[in-house]
Amino acid sequence: MTSLKNDRLATMLTHVREGHDSVKALQDLAMIYDVKESLSLSVEKLNQIIVHFIGEMLLGLEGKPSSFKMLPSFVYKGDTSVAGNFMALDLGGTNFRVLDLALEQGKVVKEEQIKYEIPLALMKSDRTGSELFDFIAECVKEYLVKKSGGEEGVQGLGFTFSFPVSQTNIDSGFLITWTKGFSTSGCEGQDVVKLLRDAFQRQNINVPVRALVNDTVGTLVTGYFEDSRAEIGAILGTGSNACYWESVPSIKKLPSPSGWGGGDEKMCINIEWGNFDSINQAILPYTEMDEVIDKASPNRGKQRFEKLISGFYLGDIARLLLLKLVRHGVLPTIPCNVPPMSFPAIELSKIIKDDSPDLDATKAVLLSLYNYKLDTTQALTIKELFSCVTLRSARLAAAGIAAILLKTGNTHNAKVCIDGSVFTKTPFYKEQMEACLSEVLGSQGITNHNVELVATANGSGVGAALISALAVAKS
């Protein structure tokens, strides 16, 4: 399909030269160019972001004020040729999963899982942590009773607990605050692994809880068991985060971490990269749409990097862009209300991949959501500008990956393990990330980098079991 800007500009110049009244059309085209420019990221801008990104990483590793938490996971690089039976418990919201894995030479040869739903009553403040964890333990007990062999032979369990925790060891972490609708009393400030172990003891469950796991760390470890070149784990979905292997001596704020065997051993560091530039707020290229989203969010001024790249926000950025075009008269008035969060990211993907001659899919999306009827030229304007929103996301994510690779020096033979619907379901996203990586690394004189971006699923489940296997092997 012909590029919007080239086609329209050529037509506009012809009209101007022929003496037509083209002021309104020129103003519309100027607005389109302005929007495209505000969402574009040059290599120079990306390099600026990368330099500041690495600086924030170093500050976080030293324990100095930084927008990055740089959380030690106490998960160490180790021998993946493990064998045995391991389990995982994945608690990320109103549902939780119990997984059972059999490993041979580090490969999953058998996997079973079952999902349970937590009663809403147990999520309320008038119920206690003991009641919540007793329910979880009862479900695990139910699974073990049905499982062939029961708990016999299970060497360890990894517990994925997707809430903010302060982790002090691989098998210890204190809940900072509940999120995702939970307010169960007696949990905040408590060691969640101890709460689980105590509940297991009350149910006479003898499966040892070996590891407390973050889903991003689980993604990296899942990829690491498949390929030792795995250096980075990332989540590019509803939210966004990344982790990587760091040399323990470089973790200055943790001079002698639990489990460290000495030397240049590698530990996985959870960056919590979504908060980048949330202290100084001077580096990321925020548009007026981004500022509106930040100001309306419950965590205003925080997670500013995540708000530019994650699936939770991309649809709303597109919605605000649509309203901007309408407000400036580039597009006609929308016949209904267009409330916040009314434009799902999945609809954004439908528009971006629309290659029909008359952009019928794009027209159908807007008609379905807002009863908004567009001609083909108007639909093309929307498609091109909405594509800029996801392209910006991909390039920013790639800049984050490049920063980690450049910081560690692993730029020539590395695998980046990525989970999340933005990466796996947004059209052209992976290719755009790859192209951007080549651009920024090339600008640093690094060619033939051989950095591979690989979709890696189920880090919160399989990854947790694999981390428990690493913990057992290390002990």
Q: Is 327 exposed, middle or buried (0-12, 13-18, 19+ CB in 10 A)?
A: exposed
- Indicate if 97 belongs to the active site: yes
Residues 6+ apart with CB under 8 A from 473: 78, 79, 82
DSSP per residue, 233-283: EEEESSSEEEEEEEEGGG-TT-SS-TT--SSS-EEEEE--GGGTTTTT--S
Q: Which residue in the list 171, 215, 290, 316 is annotated as catalytic?
A: 215
| 172 a catalytic residue | no
Short-list 268, 277, 182, CA closest to 230: 268
Active site residue 215: yes
| Closest to 246 measured CA to CA, from 61, 455, 36, 475 | 61
- C-beta of residue 106 within 8 angstroms of C-beta of residue 82: yes
Q: In the sheet where 95-104 sits, what is the strand order?
A: 107-117, 95-104, 84-91, 154-161, 209-213
Phi, psi of 312 (to 5 degrees): -65, -30
Angle at 311 between CA 220 and CA 273, to 5 degrees: 45
Let me know: does 468 contact 156? Beta carbons within 8 Å.
yes
Tokens matching residue 93: 């919201």
Catalytic position from the list 66, 67, 90, 97: 97
Tokens at residue 293, please? 């989203």
Q: 162, 172, 460, 468: which one is catalytic?
A: 162
- Positions annotated as catalytic residues are 97, 162, 215
